[in-house]
Structure 1
Amino acid sequence: MTRTRRWLGMGAAAAVLVATTWTAATIPAAAVPDSKNRTVLNDVHTDAVDVQYADGRLALKTRVGSAPYQFYEASDVIFQLRDAGRLAVPDVPEYAFLGPANSPVWIAPQVQDPSLLFAGWDTESVPTGVLAGDTVDLHLRGVTGPGKVEVFQTDGVGQPVRIFSSTDPLYTSRREAVGEGHHVHANWAFGAPGRYRLTFEVTAATITGAALSSGPVEYTWYVGGTNPQDVVADATTTTLTAAPATPGVTLTSAVTPANAPGWVEFFDGATSLGYSEVSGGTAALTTQALANGTHTLTAKFVPRYANDYQSSVSPPVSYEVVGGPTTTTTTTTTSRTTQPTSTTSGTQTTSQPTNSGTTTTTPTTTTTSCVPTTSRTGVVLDKGHVDYAARIVDGRLVSQVKDGTTGGTPQWRAPGQVVFHLGAAAATTVPSDAFSFLGPPSSRIWQIPQTQKPDVVWLGWNTEEITSAQATGEVKWQLTEVSGPGSMAIYELDPFGKPVVIFNSKDGLPDTYGIRLGTHAHGNWAFTASGAYRLTFTQSITLTSGATVTDKQVVTFAIGDMDPKTLLPTTTTGCGADGTTNSAAASRLASTGASIVPPLAVGAALVLLGGGLLFVLRRRRNES
């Protein structure tokens, strides 16, 4: 025990004699805030690093779920990678960057497994037109933890694409486009169980050249365990020193690690003297509450988050006051308050002009000859992000194409009004025997990869528009028929590039796949020959009323060197009995009508610029 003696001078002693003739008034110390727990995320979809832009500033947060999203400060969450994510590094040179062959590695996968965390990053909240090039740079500034960290993607032929690394300086920065639809998922690999802290920063320049930065933001991961209670807080240490002050005594505490957030409460025996918030690893309190005599002083660190850092108590310090007592307690407290954001929406009143006059028009009769004509309607999509989406509209299930290829607000299209074109940029070859369901190795195929590729349409599937208030269970997605010159398959890739087939027309149909609500996924769509394909999809789900609703649509693909416009539906303008023109569209918005509008809570598309978003769900083969 450290002993400190404080001797008062004659003037102070005289003051004490006066003070002892009345009862000292003591102001009770304020109660220290209680510790709470960070929110632990371990089996949800999250954009762990969510880039925000507002009022000319960049910021980093965390976004969870699908629209309407939940947003968190990075300091308020812990990303838990459960034990189920443990794998063995494959014995192939392409994955040697993860560690020796067969050594353990824990991976939060690029393709969603409902039992594991599905983590990515996004720039969807950043508007276009304000940053130079409509891009930001995302940097991994530092990593602390018991093992190495690697963030990588698996491309369409099963090869790893490295993005961030804690050990290789070549992989610490990535440029991302901004705006709706720009969203990435990847494999997050950790070399050992335990707690990791990953520090990210986002930088950019405005269109006027001003430099912007979020500053470094720390994200905490915990590898291991099966539930939030398994997250072990880091240990701390606390020390205390006491020194005379005028008046009173100043108590100073040091806490390690220095970045542990929380408060230090100071005690005289069992009596609290007050508390102070830790800043830079220290906290201090000046008090006049120590009476004449010897005092045993301690300092207790109270963490802001109990599942982040552990509490600790300093060794006791003996402090002797000669000539007391004092009469007041002064508590120095630093508090951090987050002010709520208030949003005020204005009301605009528009007055319509009135016309009080009278206009007389003399009719004119024009006689023309009618010649029937035929034109094509709809769009060809050959690049950019698109989803085949399921929605509930007026109690009906509607399958539509969510077209995000033009930027801004996505357009909802009837499948019959869209042709997907896979040209030369989509041509590739079957990589190995592991992909024999597509054909022999080196045989030619055309493919939409699960990671976005320039000049190739990036087609995924989406159930984000359906809420739990509308329906229960999964969307049952079936491929019932394929017409075309070859076979087609949709498949995903596991973290090490092994294909997992979802649909395959080569071995018989129908094939069925279950999609959970709130899903936005991407996979590989492969076609084995050039030409026109028509895929018949059926989707069904059970409403909360108990009724089952179903929608059947045909999706058209133009593969290879052909004119995709020839597959668009036609509209013929004909002649009526009176010689005037009329028109009839050959294709319309099936099952929806022409007046369908998106629901009020339309979710932003979770785009993976290079990341696949597949739910690893059951595949029921040949099920009707």
Structure 2
Amino acid sequence: MARVVRTATALLAAVSVLGATSGAAAAAGGPAPVPPQRQSLAAGHADLLSVSLEAGSLVLAGQSDVDGTPTRLDPARTTVHVTDAALRPAPASTDYGFLGVPAGAPIHVVPQAFRPGVLWAGWNTESVPRGALAGDVVDLALRDARGPGQVEVYLAGVDGPDRVWSSRDPALRTLRVAVPTHAHANWAFTAPGVYELEFAASATTASGAPLVSAPVRYVVAVGGPTPAPTTTALDVEEGPGGLRLTGRVSGGPAHLHGGVPTGWVEFHRHHVDRDEVVGHVAVDDGAGALAVPDEPDALAYTARFVPAVHDLVAASESPAVANPRAPPGAAVTGVRDRYTAGETITATALVVPERPGHTTAWWTREGGVTTPRGAGGVLTTPATAELDGAELGFDLLDAGGGTVASARAVTLRVGPAPTTTTAPPAATSPTTASPTTAPAQTTPAPAPGPGPTTEACVATEVTRTAEPGEVEVVTDGHFDYGPVVEGDALTARVKDDRQGSPEWRDPGGYVFHLTDAARTTPPAGSGYDFLGGGPVWTIPLTQRPGIPWIGWNTQHPSIPESITGDVTMTLEGVEGPGRLAVYGQDPFGGVGDRYFGTVEGFPRSTAVPVGRSGVHVHGVWAFTAPGSYAVTFAFSGTANGRALTAKSTLAFHIGAGDPAAARPKTQVVEQVGRTANGQGCALGPRDLASTGLGGELLVGLVVAAALLIPLGFLLTSLATLSAARRRP
């Protein structure tokens, strides 16, 4: 409660010295600073932990897909919102007893599989060059976890959950991740509220030097995103020559910054004819103090809390505290500079000295028309568009209804309610490079332009025939399959993320090989009867060493720019010894979305949203028999009113045998350099046409698999993620 404390001269002197050495040290004139804009993640694809190697240092940050481009996030300025779209009952299976809640209890789970409108969170090491770190591995450690419930991160599969990090189990705090890896998991929060999660990355260089990143701390709001209320109180201490104002702030989320609100206290002085900000001070352990000189005509003071984390912590204002030496007067207090339509305006009548038996009559005035707003010391009224620009004031009436004083009116400002969006805004600092994009200052300068006698080298698409065996056999790494608009046509490309900088390549240049590392047998009664009773070979829902991880997307920049509505991905046919099923999984290991397949009960097509920046989806690819498969797809969509379709075939080889034989003679589109007279020339990195097929690897797209192994394009034998070694 606000109060006035009168002190002796000696005590005031001691308090003034204390203020000069503590709270006053952080004090400044004028209003409190505007809190920095915070990134909000509530839906879409985000890698909360993205590792890069920059100038010899290990850097841990976040990354999201904005407009189809990986964009760096600053965890210190990011709030992860796990909305009620992720709410589900806890499973009854004893396999999930580590969640620590009874069966059926409501918990929030960020799913391992992509779901529209729900956050899809993971981690990646794709920006770390191969060979730069010992063993090509990075350790990601959960160093601290605070919140109203438990945090459990785990992978779900047909053979049960595989735990990754746990806030409760100290043995599950560090995960060893291969380079390059892009993985997703289920993130379970057992109670709503605000959590803080701190992570750090560590590794050893190839030469043996230890590397440790600076820690990053995420704020995770689980459940409703409404800012938690706070309360601000003001003490005014009187002495010769001035006053000491002390604002005390309480409330806010219990698990944010140790339960102590952070931000600033802004002090306001109220006169009969004006209001003014006299200064502000940073909140330290819930309080901030400011010494001010005497202002004999000031009626009162108020303190306003400005939170640093404004999307989770609400601002608040203290009741007015009368100036101990105030002259008679009346003023309106508690009105903010601006409101959003739908908020509540709360105004308090300040009358000095107090007038028992008198009545306060509130009014608004606009265009010369005065509207009564009720009586009482405090007025609460909805902020509406009609009140924007109106004046708010009150009259002080005596027992007979006569006006004995009128407060100076204040002008109300009401803006429209903000538009809700689930797409995360870009948050890359102008001086910060995306972890999957080389910093601008380190981009190689373009080669000098052609001289007077040098002909320009122009990127030219050519089609060549790739003979059997002249393909790249892929056994590892992250890929996405999707459409690209090239000129007036739609084509299908494979986005290859193995080298950190993505390349959009012709699907005809690959064979995806699933070895016995991908073999599993679904247990009886698990709900996977559609796969039959024998072994299956699967590309899992998250990336694992030794298994190519292929998904699909609509994130090539040409797609959001050109396509209206969704893209339809249709399975045209499967040639091979067995059947194919591609599906998602729910957070507790059951079958999720059925995307497409040739098994009973599976559709042949799936709609892939485009929206503002496209989407990125992964599912489980299950093959029911070993051998070679040719899987043909069609992508279709509408661009500028025209229906476009692109067909292509993905080649898979399952189990033993010659994987290269899975791809027969095929036509492959490459980009080569040509001069104006048709002579061959070498393309530079800036010479590539604007088809999205950028990068020097396009020159010579088809490379024999035997050449890839010594170049290190394939991961060496690493343990699968389920057997990843964890260090305390």
Alignment partner of 2:553 out of 462, 467, 470:
462
Mean CA deviation greater in 506-515 or 94-103: 506-515
The question of 1:489 aligning with 2:571 is answered no
Paired amino acid for 1:522: H
**In 2, distance between residues paired with 1:302 and 1:2?**
23
The question of 1:533 aligning with 2:629 is answered yes
The question of 1:552 aligning with 2:647 is answered yes
Distance change in 2, residues 1:7/1:384 (3 Å): closer
**In 2, distance between residues paired with 1:294 and 1:134?**
68
Shift in Å, 1:514 = 1.2
**In 1, distance between residues paired with 2:210 and 2:477?**
29
Paired amino acid for 1:491: Y
Aligned length: 525
Could you tell me whether the CA contact under 8 Å between 1:376 and 1:568 is conserved in 2? yes
Partner of 2:95, secondary structure, is helix
Could you tell me whether the CA contact under 8 Å between 2:127 and 2:500 is conserved in 1? no
Paired amino acid for 2:661: T
The question of 1:589 aligning with 2:668 is answered yes
Aligned to 2:278: 273
Partner of 1:482, secondary structure, is strand
Distance change in 2, residues 1:496/1:597 (3 Å): farther
The question of 1:502 aligning with 2:595 is answered yes
Deviations 1:73-121 (A, max 9, x none): 3243322222232211121111111222222211121112112222223
Aligned ranges 1:189-338 → 2 under 5 Å: 189-207=188-206, 211-225=210-224, 231-238=225-232, 251=245, 253=247, 255-256=249-250, 260-268=261-269, 271-278=276-283, 281-287=286-292, 289-291=293-295, 298-313=302-317
Aligned to 1:435: 528
**In 2, distance between residues paired with 1:244 and 1:471?**
69
**In 2, distance between residues paired with 1:409 and 1:69?**
10
Could you tell me whether the CA contact under 8 Å between 2:6 and 2:238 is conserved in 1? no
Aligned ranges 1:370-409 → 2 under 5 Å: 376-405=469-498, 407-409=499-501
**In 2, distance between residues paired with 1:509 and 1:537?**
15
Aligned to 1:122: 124
Paired amino acid for 2:98: F
Aligned ranges 1:15-26 → 2 under 5 Å: none
Mean CA deviation greater in 137-146 or 91-100: 137-146
Paired amino acid for 2:277: S
Shift in Å, 1:412 = 4.3
Shift in Å, 1:597 = 5.9
The question of 1:564 aligning with 2:566 is answered no
Paired amino acid for 2:600: D
Aligned ranges 1:343-422 → 2 under 5 Å: 350=448, 376-405=469-498, 407-422=499-514
Distance change in 2, residues 1:534/1:191 (3 Å): same
Distance change in 2, residues 1:64/1:555 (3 Å): closer
**In 2, distance between residues paired with 1:420 and 1:294?**
78
Shift in Å, 1:125 = 4.3
Partner of 1:468, secondary structure, is helix
Could you tell me whether the CA contact under 8 Å between 1:44 and 1:65 is conserved in 2? no
**In 2, distance between residues paired with 1:245 and 1:108?**
57
Shift in Å, 1:435 = 1.0
Distance change in 2, residues 1:284/1:73 (3 Å): farther
Aligned to 1:520: 616
Mean CA deviation greater in 479-488 or 308-317: 308-317
Distance change in 2, residues 1:497/1:594 (3 Å): farther
Could you tell me whether the CA contact under 8 Å between 1:258 and 1:282 is conserved in 2? no
Shift in Å, 1:280 = 5.8
**In 2, distance between residues paired with 1:498 and 1:346?**
48
Distance change in 2, residues 1:134/1:565 (3 Å): closer
Paired amino acid for 1:196: Y
The question of 1:3 aligning with 2:5 is answered yes
Shift in Å, 1:194 = 2.2
Shift in Å, 1:531 = 2.3
Distance change in 2, residues 1:165/1:245 (3 Å): farther
**In 2, distance between residues paired with 1:398 and 1:54?**
35
Aligned to 1:479: 571
Partner of 2:599, secondary structure, is helix
Paired amino acid for 1:555: L
Aligned to 1:136: 138
Partner of 1:450, secondary structure, is coil
**In 2, distance between residues paired with 1:172 and 1:203?**
13
Paired amino acid for 1:220: V
**In 2, distance between residues paired with 1:548 and 1:149?**
47
Partner of 1:171, secondary structure, is coil
Shift in Å, 1:296 = 6.0
Could you tell me whether the CA contact under 8 Å between 1:533 and 1:557 is conserved in 2? yes
Aligned ranges 1:66-85 → 2 under 5 Å: 67-85=68-86
**In 2, distance between residues paired with 1:259 and 1:72?**
25
**In 2, distance between residues paired with 1:53 and 1:236?**
41
Superposition CA RMSD, Å: 4.0
Could you tell me whether the CA contact under 8 Å between 2:494 and 2:504 is conserved in 1? yes
Deviations 1:148-193 (A, max 9, x none): 22111213x25211112221112222233455xx322211211122
Tell me, which stretches of 5 or more residues in structure 2 are unaligned? 12-27, 251-257, 326-427, 433-439, 454-466, 674-687, 696-719, 723-728
Shift in Å, 1:46 = 2.0
Could you tell me whether the CA contact under 8 Å between 1:424 and 1:560 is conserved in 2? yes
Could you tell me whether the CA contact under 8 Å between 2:114 and 2:618 is conserved in 1? no
Distance change in 2, residues 1:610/1:251 (3 Å): farther
Aligned ranges 1:28-47 → 2 under 5 Å: 29-34=29-34, 38-47=38-47
Aligned to 2:92: 91
Alignment partner of 1:153 out of 152, 155, 160:
155
Could you tell me whether the CA contact under 8 Å between 1:379 and 1:568 is conserved in 2? no
Shift in Å, 1:453 = 2.9
Could you tell me whether the CA contact under 8 Å between 1:58 and 1:203 is conserved in 2? no
Shift in Å, 1:560 = 2.4
Q: State the TM-score, normalized to the length of structure 2.
A: 0.63
Shift in Å, 1:352 = 7.5
Could you tell me whether the CA contact under 8 Å between 2:300 and 2:320 is conserved in 1? yes
Shift in Å, 1:555 = 2.4
**In 2, distance between residues paired with 1:46 and 1:515?**
18
Could you tell me whether the CA contact under 8 Å between 2:265 and 2:288 is conserved in 1? yes
Paired amino acid for 1:536: T
Partner of 2:7, secondary structure, is strand
Distance change in 2, residues 1:93/1:393 (3 Å): same
**In 2, distance between residues paired with 1:555 and 1:84?**
34
Aligned to 1:25: none
Distance change in 2, residues 1:260/1:204 (3 Å): farther
Mean CA deviation greater in 165-174 or 70-79: 70-79
Could you tell me whether the CA contact under 8 Å between 2:128 and 2:500 is conserved in 1? no
Shift in Å, 1:476 = 1.0
Mean CA deviation greater in 164-173 or 196-205: 196-205
**In 2, distance between residues paired with 1:198 and 1:548?**
47
Could you tell me whether the CA contact under 8 Å between 1:3 and 1:319 is conserved in 2? no
Could you tell me whether the CA contact under 8 Å between 2:503 and 2:694 is conserved in 1? no
Partner of 1:454, secondary structure, is coil
Could you tell me whether the CA contact under 8 Å between 1:3 and 1:317 is conserved in 2? no
Partner of 2:228, secondary structure, is coil
Q: State the TM-score, normalized to the length of structure 1.
A: 0.73
Mean CA deviation greater in 553-562 or 37-46: 37-46
**In 2, distance between residues paired with 1:177 and 1:233?**
39
Partner of 1:32, secondary structure, is coil
Shift in Å, 1:64 = 4.4
Shift in Å, 1:375 = 6.8
**In 1, distance between residues paired with 2:139 and 2:303?**
43
Deviations 1:12-70 (A, max 9, x none): xxxxxxxxxxxxxxxx9523345687443322222234445544362434534353344
Could you tell me whether the CA contact under 8 Å between 2:60 and 2:215 is conserved in 1? no
Partner of 2:531, secondary structure, is coil
